[in-house]
Every structure is written in structure tokens, then in C-alpha cells.
Structure 1
């Protein structure tokens, strides 16, 4: 009985693994074909792009400069910083001076009306935007020239928000390779597959908003209902009767160097946010890596009259081979050490999943935050 249950789980999990990879390849290649022939933007409505900045990442000059090279005539750029003394402010001012013909401004100030520091930084940009379509994009997103057209290409009549998950690129060092393993052939794969099946979830890296929709729901402060603005965005859009959609070919996030601690802290932070906001979808994440299928293969091996170790090896080869095929077909980052990074990621998944259940707090860019309900936080802060 156990052997048959293990075989069924192995078959279903492997089918989902291969199908999600195939859907992702189809989406990305379709998106890549569009980007090669994307319109200049003359037929598209004017757009305001709001980019919050906070500190400097290794490739921020590259990513922020890409904003000034977009092919879209009706474009307004608004950069937002909470503080004048932020390290990113001189860079933004220099880029604006180097591109005087681009309609761009830098706004300084912090709102502090929500628990989310990034959201508080963006509120002033939303209020100042002139156009009815607004893109909110993190400072570490590398925008291709057709960025705006690709965002609009995903827009449909029933779409309230268009997003893009990040695709890790330009990693420096092994732990940055592990972050690519998390971002690309794992997280982006599942997000694209879910969106293809009609279950799109917002991702905060790039968001194309219909201004009237969000203003009707309460404006930017409405995204403060959750500590993660992308989770709040998903709930707001669905609450208004619309869907979230993803672009076909997600945009790059150049990584640079990473440490083990940075990777673990970032993944645990995202895990706790997912657990707090969508626990029903978070619960089965433990089964989405290769460890559970390989364990099932070992249990089911007697049914095929093969050695358990051989069954584990064949299953692992199939799962890793599928990821390699996905990375190659999509053009996502893959080098000789990528399979090792994928293995390390899958070994880390149970640890991250458990930490997602066993804590509420995390630190984001020097800000201590929590996913706990306000009443729980208040109770914890009472004097003994």
C-alpha cells in the first residue's frame, strides 16, 4: 500500500514538474517573440513609472539607467527616496542630469502611514503621477527598451494588474547561483504556470496599475492591509472583480554577490509573508522540490523491481534535466554549477518552509517588520 501511494505521488509530482516547465517555456518564448517586434509605444497610453530607491545594490546604475532608455513616447519617470541622504540619491540626480530630455523627477520624503517602508516611499510618487496608467518598479529591475509595451501586451479587459516576477542574472559567487536557482527555474516557473492556469499572483518587482481601480479601492494606502504590498495587491484586484496577470517573458534582476545568510534571510522573509497571506497555497510548498519525489521513488522502487538508489538517481536526473531544459529554452541563467545550486536549493526548501511556520519577524533594508496580526504584536509588547 505504501509503495503504491508513493508511486502515485511520484507520478503526479513529476507530471506537475514537467508541465510547469513546459508552460513556462511556452510563455517565455511567446513573450520573446513579441519583444522582437514590439510597437514603439505610439499606440499605447501615456505611463508614469514610479521607482522607489533605498540604498545601492551592485547593479543599480545599470538598472536605473535602463529607465531612461525605454521606447515609449508618453513617459513620466518619478524616483522616490525616503531621505535626502540616501546613497541612491546622488546616482538618480546624475542620471537625470545626463538625460535632460527625459521627463523625470526625484521626490524626497517618507509617509509612514503603513507598516510597509517601501509602500510609504511610493505613496508620494503615486500622488504626483500625471497619468492614468502607473508602473511601480523596484530599483533592481533591468528594463529592456520594450518594457512598457511588454507590460501592456499582458493587459486584458478583465485584468486589473500586470506584474513580472524577477529572473536572476549576473550572479557573482556560488550563493548568488543559489539565488538564481530559487528565482528562476523554481519560483518564476511556478508563478508562470499558475498564471497560465488563471491563478495569477501579484509580484512587487514590476506592477502596471490601472489608476482608477486602485484609487477606487482606497489608493496606495489600501496596499497596507498586508505587510507585503504584492499580497495586498492580489487581494485588492480580486476584490474588485479583476485578475492579476504576468508578462510572458519576465524581466531580469542582476544579482551580483550574495552570501549564504543573505539568501536564507531573504527566502525565510518571503516564506513568512506567503504563509501569513496565503496559507492555503503555502502549505504544499514543502512537496514542490525534488526531495519528496526522490523519497517516493525509493519507496516505490520494489514495484518496478529496481534498486532504491537507482530509482532515486533516475528521479533526480529527470527533475534536474527538466530544469536544465527550461533554463536553456528560456535563455535564463545556467552554467556548469547550476545543477549543484538547484540541489542546494532543494535541500534548503524544507528548512525555509519550517522557518516560515515558526516565526513572524524579519528585517527588510534595516527595518524590523513582522507578519503577525496587530493584536498579536500589541499583546507581545505588553510589559511583563
Structure 2
């Protein structure tokens, strides 16, 4: 049994640890907010002046399609309107009855001078339907630089040019070459469904500031697959093992895009493989991926969060286990007890002050992503959606982390301990 002095020493140490972690998290998110301001709100002038020419490297834009996503016409048309002279667009559908095909055909007629075509028919290379849908397009693409762009995303006309500029920028002898250019998701507007509102609030605030902060520190790979630019010649050298390629140089080793069909989060795994297997790095450009959320119910939003927690659980195990301690509601409560014990600060006052400051920081990130000339609209619906996300994150996390079955596009998958997926 501990005596009173030993208990006091222990409580002081735990309180100091709690406050220390609280400060670490504030430093981390502040890095994300500052980086968001510099990169998006006040874009570097040189990126806005970049003018691609006919000598610019060719790019193949791959867009996988499945049904009628919200805002599909505008999303796909944004690809045709890219201000880039040397590109091709390949749309992929798994069958000729797909509802997205009439939309694509209308755009092909409207933009006859754009090098664009449709590939119909998937190949079964794994459990991931997106990889199965894209593998033929990946193989026949004319250019080494590939831009994989989800169907629920639209992009500004200069997005490709600025991404290519960053991807091909000269590096110093001490820098690793850039292998992936990706774009942080941003929701411009959402419908009246509560799941859509919460998802929009999450992507534009909590997700964005952590995503940008981790990429600013560049401690490890952190990429989502809404909009990714990379070289096929790099992807053809990796297999998703995340072990150095030199150590895995075996005669029967299978590499390339098709090998990632065994994962559901192929985007994250490809980026992670390029980082760990080839020793290459990633970067963000000064553009965002305008993510169209669509009509998402509360149930849709709940199961979406569950799905990606379960997918990440074995792919980035340590980060997933630590995830509750990166949620503000957890470290704010811990810090409130610590500050009360050490400095007699009222716990409720501490928590209220924390959430006001946290909300204001999130609004700053939101405004940065929206751009200097696009003011954001904050109403009571947004505030309530933000509060719901902040207060429900821990129950959802614990529900998700103790399961391994997920549902995606009507199919059930079991996530294995090595991060791969199998039909359940």
C-alpha cells in the first residue's frame, strides 16, 4: 500500500503527464492549422504562376465509376476542364449497364477534342472492387504519371498542373524523391441529412487539421485516396509488404497495382509501400479534393466510421490503438483533472474553455481550406454536427475496434491481422 506522500507523488506525476500530453496535442494541431493557412489560404504565388506547356510530362487520369454518385456530371466534367496540355482520361466501369455510362458518353460528346475513353469490364485480382475496376485502365494507360481520382470528387482547373509541378520539382541531394501527390478532402456543401452534415464537419475540421499536421511533420505515410498522383514505374516495384524492396528481391515476388487488390484501403497501402519499400516521400499541393458527400444518413455515417476504423486497425495498428488519446474529449478531460489537482482549476471551466478554443481552431482550418476569397457559413446545424462528432467518437471507436467485419457497397468483408481483406 502507498502512503500519503507516495500517493501525492504519483498523482502529481500522472497529472504532469496528462498536462504534457494535452500540450503535445495542441502543438500538433497548431502545426496543422498553421500549415493549412500557409498552403491553402495564402497560396504560394509561384504555384499560381505555373504554366504547363506541350513539353510537360504526360498524365493519365484514371476515374473508377460505379453507379450515379451525387454531383457525378460536375465531378467528371472537372476532369475535362483541366488546364493541362498533355493528358488522357480513362473512365472505368465493370459492366456496360452501369448507370454512370450515359453521363460519361454525354461528356465525351461535349468535349470531343479531349483525349478520353471508357474501359468496360473489371478483372478479378482481389477483393477490392475499385482495384478490380481500375486494373485494366492502369495497364493500358499511355503515360507513366497516373492521377487516380474518385468519382465523388471534383477539382479546380489548375489542380493537375500544380500537382505535376510538385511531383517533378528538383530535389536537393539530401531529400527523398516525391512519389505521391495527394489532396486533402474538402466538402463545399452538404445536404440536410444528418450523416452528411456530420461527415462534412469532420472532414473540414478534425480530419483536415490532423491530416495536414501529420503530413507537415512527415513522420510517416498518411494518405487518403480521393485524389492521388503517382508514377506507375514506382508502383510496379512495390507489393504492400512495407519491407525495403532490396530485402524482398525474390524471383517469385509479385508487385504492381494488381497486388493491392487484397486490401480494402489500397490507396493508403500503395502510398505506405512507396514510403517504406522504396524510401520515397509524399507531398500535398495547394489544391483540395472537393468531396461531394451526398445524402448520408446517421446510420450510413456510423457504419462508414466503423468500417474505416476496422480497416485501419491492422494496417496501422499502433496509431489506431493510440487514436482515443488524440480525440479532444479524452485529453481535455484528463487535463481538466490534472489542472484541478495541480492548480485547483475548476474542471468544468477548463473543459468549456478548451472546447471553445478547439472549435475556433477548427473554424480557422475550415476557413483556410475554403480559401481566402470564399467565406465559410457557420450556422447552428454545423455547430451541432461538430458537437455530435466530437462527443460520439469514443463510443464509435470502441464499438468498431472490437470487430473485424465491414460492409462496403453491399458486400461483407473480414479484415485479417495482416491488413488484408477476405469476403466474409
What is the TM-score when the length of structure 2 is the normalising length? 0.83
Segments of structure 1 that go 5 or more residues without pairing to the other structure are: none
* Contact 1:80-1:107 within 8 A present in 2 as well: yes
Q: 3-state SS of the aligned residue for 2:357? A: helix
| Aligned equivalents of 2:126, 2:105: Cα separation in 1 | 27
Tell me, yes or no, if structure 1 residue 108 matches structure 2 residue 120. Answer: yes
TM-superposed deviation, 1:261 = 1.0
Quote the residue 2:408 is aligned against.
364
The secondary structure found in structure 1 opposite 2:236 is helix
Q: Secondary structure at the match of 1:171?
A: coil
Structure 2 counterpart of 1:202, from 185, 201, 223 = 223
Residue in 2 that maps onto 1:186: 206
| Matched-pair contact (CA < 8 Å) for 1:271–1:353 | yes
* Aligned positions of 1:11-22 closer than 5 A: 11-22=23-34
Name the CA shift for 1:283/1:70 in 2 (closer, same or farther; >3 Å): same
Q: Does 48-57 or 29-38 show the bigger shift?
A: 29-38
Which deviates more from structure 2 when the two are superposed, residues 89-98 or residues 198-207? Answer: 198-207
* Aligned counterpart in structure 2 of residue 251 of structure 1, from 277, 280, 289: 289
Gaps of 5+ in 2: 1-10, 172-176, 239-254
Instruction: Provide the secondary structure at the position in 2 that maps to 1:244.
Output: strand
Q: Deviations over 1:95-145 (max 9, x none)?
A: 111111111101110101111100000001111111121111111111110
1:33 Cα shift? Answer: 4.6
Query: Contact (CA 8 Å) 1:140, 1:253: kept in 2 or not?
Result: yes
User: Conserved in 1, the CA contact under 8 Å of 2:132 and 2:261?
Assistant: no
CA distance in 2, matches of 1:334, 1:274: 32
Q: Please say if 1:341 is aligned against 2:360.
A: no
Deviation, 1:363, is 1.8
Instruction: Using the TM superposition, give the Cα deviation of residue 291 of structure 1 relative to its aligned residue in structure 2, in angstroms.
Output: 0.5
Map 1:1-384 → 2, pairs under 5 A:
1=11, 2-29=14-41, 31=43, 33=45, 36-155=48-167, 156=169, 157=171, 158-173=177-192, 174-198=194-218, 199-217=220-238, 218-238=255-275, 239-299=277-337, 300-331=339-370, 334-336=377-379, 337-373=381-417
Contact 1:59 1:255 (8 Å CA) reproduced: no
Partner Cα separation in structure 1 for residue 334 and residue 83 of structure 2: 50
CA displacement, residues 312-342 of structure 1 (integer Å, 9 cap, x when unaligned) = 1111111111111222233275522333222
3-state secondary structure, aligned to 2:90? strand
TM-score by length of 1: 0.91
Q: For residues 235 and 419 of structure 2, what CA distance do their matches in structure 1 show?
A: 27
**Residues 248, 95 of structure 1: alpha-carbon distance in 2 compared, 3 angstrom cutoff:** same
Distance 1:338 1:135 in 2: 32
Equivalent pair of 1:82/1:109 in contact (CA under 8 Å): yes
Q: Residue 246 of structure 1: CA displacement? A: 2.5
* SS of corresponding position for 1:154: helix
Secondary structure of the structure 1 residue equivalent to 2:390:
helix
- The CA deviation at 1:278 is 0.7
State the distance in 2 between where 1:211 and 1:146 align: 22
Give the superposition deviation at 1:92: 0.8
Structure with higher Rg: it is 2
- TM-align CA RMSD: 2.4
Cα contact 1:31–1:247 (8 A) shared by 2: no
Over 3 Å counting, the alpha-carbon distance change for 1:284 and 1:24 in structure 2 is farther
Shift in alpha-carbon separation, 1:369–1:150, aligned structure 2, 3 A: farther
Name the SS for the 1:145 alignment partner: coil
